């Protein structure tokens, strides 16, 4: 049976600060009781406050950044759990279970370019991935990061991707209301880049964002026969593989097809579209 | 050092803390959080004869004071359990309890028979909350005679200890307890989840794809405590309390009410180190109270007429 990753632990942590970002987001900086080695982007942690303000079940969040022995999370306020975290006072005690999940595959410098598609707070796992790839010597010109949202304020923290753009990564934004960047969604933007010959037809896709977007990416990958990886955000009751609350249907003809469901928390959250299907 | 050992039938446990079925994996998946050597026993998720795909998502939902689930007994079947889980738990430094389920009395008998000679298994826990396909899909554990038939069938094929895990969704749980004791159960686990549901009134969407599901966690503890107490008063076999337990105090409450051991379920989702930690705290807690043997506390609940006095 899939077990949690061998480096996952329950750690106590202190909230260092909460920085508001965009219309409804925060960047939460927490200091765990001991420093963690550099982590793969799109691995995640289960977070909750220990002062009784959080719901019983901790909530999953991707690692956004590691700085000065701290972990940062980019969090969109949705309901009880995210609100309690966003409103936590400095010094608040948190429980942090992780690092969990598999994370993005390594971006290599060979063969097709990489197109990273983020939707809203689905931006969280990308900048760290790009940093790590550049540090490993991947040419910045091979990475194209397209970030979309309903409106400008839901693109959240733009300073970091803009800094990456200055170092040669292509970074483009799209908003449904046209308040920032391309007027439309990231898939529309991708089509336009293709139509204008701005991007080779053969690319590899990574995507994280709302369900309709991930469905569209899965469809696109299938139609164009592209390699694609999706970072999924199912409901999670435990994050460590023991509640069975996070099933993702596997593709019968794929490498996980021997069983009908994969566990998002311990077999994901990143899956290739050859492994699973959003239906 | 307080003597923490307890017995469930012929099974001796180092301490009275067990994990609850379906909340701590099948085998040793959680060893990095709670080493097997810390707990009295590890209880597997329900294993069935055939693989079961389980229910569609959403399968879980948190409410104000608890947790709803409709996993649908997803598991890869007994052959997979034998091939993959039993080798993993072989030689584990704890007792291994295999929780079994079925759709008919014959299913239970068959799976118990298939596993009866496996040395890796120390005891069976029979999940009586499975729907009976020959009984209008009513859970086996809602009709005393039917529950007794299941336990008799399992009893007949194994000499290992058999725990009957009862459903709280009955009119009188004591009747169930008496029935399974009569059928040869060595212990009773009380209880499984309560039936519950949640709905978003604005969208009209139920929280679970199956609409109703099992309710567990802090909100059910008073119900579970009452059920366990009622069982313990009516049978002479040991009772294993289960429902909403998340601290050493909760454990001691169940022991006082008559339980010989307890299981930790939903609380492990928020903190998978909890079963081990609670087991570790028992010694100090009992020593502070001047209790030398955990057994001395079991069933020491007083008469209700003494409730008001000091
Ligand atoms: C692996 C993983 C990584 C994630 N990373 C991030 C991240 O970096 N930043 C971030 O802001 N969010 C992230 N999420 C989503 C985040 O966990 C949810 O938004 C959060 O659990 C909502 O909790 P809540 O108590 O505030 O909302 P609730 O009160 O539980 O729910 C409010 C609303 O949010 C929806 N919702 C609840 N849980 C989820 C979920 N897991 N995914 C999508 N919608 C949900 C509910 O259906 C409901 O409509 C991630 C989820 C997963 C599984
Ligand atoms: C997600 C989940 C899955 C469960 N799966 C099983 C199961 O497979 N078999 C079983 O007998 N009980 C199962 N249970 C019930 C628990 O073992 C336990 O009886 C119940 O949750 C009450 O205890 P708790 O409040 O401590 O969780 C499950 C409970 C939950 C929350
Ligand atoms: S979230 Fe519990 S098994 Fe995946």
Residue at B205 is within a domain: no
CATH no. for residue B242?
3.20.20.70
pLDDT at residue A58, as a whole number = 98
C-beta of residue B26 within 8 angstroms of C-beta of residue B76: no
Average pLDDT on B81-98 reads: 97
How crowded is residue A217: how many other Cβ atoms within 10 Å of its Cβ?
A: 27
Residue at B37 is within a domain: yes
The answer to whether the Cβ–Cβ distance between A3 and B84 falls below 8 Å is no
B166 has which bridge partners? B190
C-beta of residue A173 within 8 angstroms of C-beta of residue A180: yes
Candidates B27, B59, B270; nearest CB to A245: B59
pLDDT > 90 in chain B, percent: 95
The answer to whether the Cβ–Cβ distance between A244 and B54 falls below 8 Å is yes
Question: A–B: how many Cβ contacts below 8 A?
Answer: 96
| Residue A76 in contact with ligand 1 by CB distance below 6 A | yes
Q: How far is CA B97 from CA B128, B131, B228, B296, in A?
A: 15, 22, 20, 25
Residue at B1 is within a domain: no
**Token pair listed for B41:** 């026993």
**In tens digits, what is the pLDDT along chain A, a chain of 279 residues?**
789 999 999 999 999 999 999 999 999 999 999 999 999 999 999 999 999 999 999 999 999 999 999 999 999 999 999 999 999 999 999 999 999 999 999 998 788 999 999 999 999 999 999 999 999 999 999 999 999 999 999 999 999 999 999 999 999 999 999 999 999 999 999 999 999 999 999 999 999 999 999 999 999 999 999 999 999 999 999 999 999 999 999 999 999 989 999 999 999 999 999 999 998
Specify the range with the lowest mean pLDDT, choosing from A184-193, A233-242, B121-130, B135-144: B135-144
Q: Of the ligands numbered here, which is closest to the C-alpha atom of A157? A: 1
pLDDT band for B135, please (50, 70, 90 cuts). Answer: confident
Candidates B33, B53, B266; nearest CB to A260: B53
Task: Tell me the residue range of the domain where B292 lies.
Answer: 6-54+72-194+216-309
B224: nearest Cα among B279, B183, B263: B263
Residue at B202 is within a domain: no
Residue at B199 is within a domain: no
pLDDT band for B138, please (50, 70, 90 cuts). Answer: confident
Residue at B209 is within a domain: no
The answer to whether the Cβ–Cβ distance between A245 and B60 falls below 8 Å is yes
pLDDT at residue B310, as a whole number = 57
pLDDT band for B212, please (50, 70, 90 cuts). Answer: very high
Cα atoms in the 13 Å half-sphere on the side-chain side of B207: 19
Q: How far is CA A59 from CA A53, A124, B231, in A?
A: 13, 15, 37
pLDDT band for B309, please (50, 70, 90 cuts). Answer: low
| Residue A245 in contact with ligand 3 by CB distance below 6 A | yes
Residue at B298 is within a domain: yes
C-beta of residue B170 within 8 angstroms of C-beta of residue B180: no
Kindly state whether B209 is in contact with chain A, defined as any CB-CB distance less than 8 angstroms: no
B225: nearest Cα among B197, B262, B187, B170: B262
ipTM value of the model?
Answer: 0.95
Q: Who has greater pLDDT, B307 or B194?
A: B194
Residue B259 among the catalytic residues: no
Gap from CA of B219 to ligand 2 centroid (Å): 14
Q: What is the distance in angstroms between the Cα of B33 and the nearest Cα belonging to chain A?
A: 7
Average pLDDT on B212-220 reads: 97
Residue at B61 is within a domain: no
| Residue B21 in contact with ligand 2 by CB distance below 6 A | yes
Kindly state whether B50 is in contact with chain A, defined as any CB-CB distance less than 8 angstroms: no
- Is residue B268's pLDDT more than 80? yes
Number of domains in chain B: 1
């Amino acid at each position: 049976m899939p077990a949690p990753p061998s480096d996952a632990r329950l750690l106590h942590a202190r909230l260092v600060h909460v920085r508001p970002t965009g219309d409804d987001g925060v960047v939460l900086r927490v200091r765990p009781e001991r420093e963690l080695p550099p982590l793969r982007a799109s691995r995640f942690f289960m977070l909750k406050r220990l002062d009784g303000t959080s719901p019983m079940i901790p909530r999953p969040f991707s690692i956004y950044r590691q700085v000065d022995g701290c972990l940062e999370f980019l969090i969109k306020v949705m309901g009880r759990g995210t609100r309690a975290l966003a409103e936590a006072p400095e010094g608040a005690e948190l429980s942090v279970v992780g690092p969990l999940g598999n994370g993005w595959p390594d971006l290599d410098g060979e063969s097709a370019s990489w197109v990273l598609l983020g939707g809203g707070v689905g931006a969280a796992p990308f900048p760290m991935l790009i940093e790590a790839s550049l540090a490993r010597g991947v040419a910045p010109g091979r990475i194209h990061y397209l970030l979309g949202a309903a409106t400008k304020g839901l693109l959240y923290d733009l300073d970091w991707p803009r800094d990456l753009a200055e170092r040669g990564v292509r970074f483009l934004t799209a908003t449904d209301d046209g308040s920032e960047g391309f007027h439309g969604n990231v898939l529309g933007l991708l089509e336009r880049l293709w139509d204008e010959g701005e991007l080779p037809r053969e690319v590899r896709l990574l995507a994280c964002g709302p369900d309709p977007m991930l469905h569209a990416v899965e469809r696109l990958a299938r139609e164009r026969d592209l390699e694609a990886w999706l970072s999924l955000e199912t409901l999670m009751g435990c994050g460590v593989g023991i509640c069975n609350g996070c099933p993702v249907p596997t593709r019968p003809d794929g490498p996980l097809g021997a069983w009908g469901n994969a566990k998002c928390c311990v077999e994901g959250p990143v899956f290739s579209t050859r492994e699973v299907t959003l239906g | 050092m307080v003597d923490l050992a307890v017995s469930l039938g012929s099974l001796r446990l180092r301490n009275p803390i067990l994990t609850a079925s379906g909340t701590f994996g099948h085998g040793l998946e959680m060893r990095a959080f709670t080493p097997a050597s810390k707990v009295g026993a590890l209880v597997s998720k329900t294993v069935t004869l055939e693989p079961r795909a389980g229910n569609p998502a959403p399968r879980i939902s948190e409410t104000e004071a608890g947790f709803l689930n409709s996993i649908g007994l997803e598991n890869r079947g007994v052959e997979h359990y034998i091939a993959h889980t039993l080798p993993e738990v072989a030689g584990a430094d704890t007792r291994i309890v295999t929780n079994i389920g079925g759709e008919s009395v014959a299913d239970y008998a068959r799976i118990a028979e298939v596993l009866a000679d496996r040395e890796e298994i120390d005891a069976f826990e029979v999940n009586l909350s499975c729907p009976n396909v020959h009984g209008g899909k009513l859970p086996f554990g809602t009709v005393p005679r039917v529950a007794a038939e299941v336990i008799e069938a399992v009893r007949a094929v194994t000499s290992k200890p058999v725990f009957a895990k009862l459903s709280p969704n009955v009119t009188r749980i004591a009747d169930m307890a008496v029935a399974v004791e009569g059928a040869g159960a060595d212990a009773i686990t009380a209880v499984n989840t309560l039936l519950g549901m949640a709905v978003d009134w604005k969208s009209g969407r139920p929280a679970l794809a199956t609409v109703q599901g099992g309710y567990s966690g802090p909100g059910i503890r008073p119900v579970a405590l009452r059920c366990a107490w009622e069982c313990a008063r009516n049978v002479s076999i040991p009772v294993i309390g289960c429902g909403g337990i998340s601290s050493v105090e909760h454990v001691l409450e169940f022991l006082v009410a008559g339980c010989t051991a307890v299981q930790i379920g939903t609380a492990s989702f928020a903190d998978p180190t909890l079963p081990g930690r609670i087991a570790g705290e028992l010694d100090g807690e009992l020593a502070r109270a001047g209790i030398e043997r955990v057994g001395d506390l079991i069933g020491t609940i007083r008469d209700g007429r003494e409730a008001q006095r000091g």
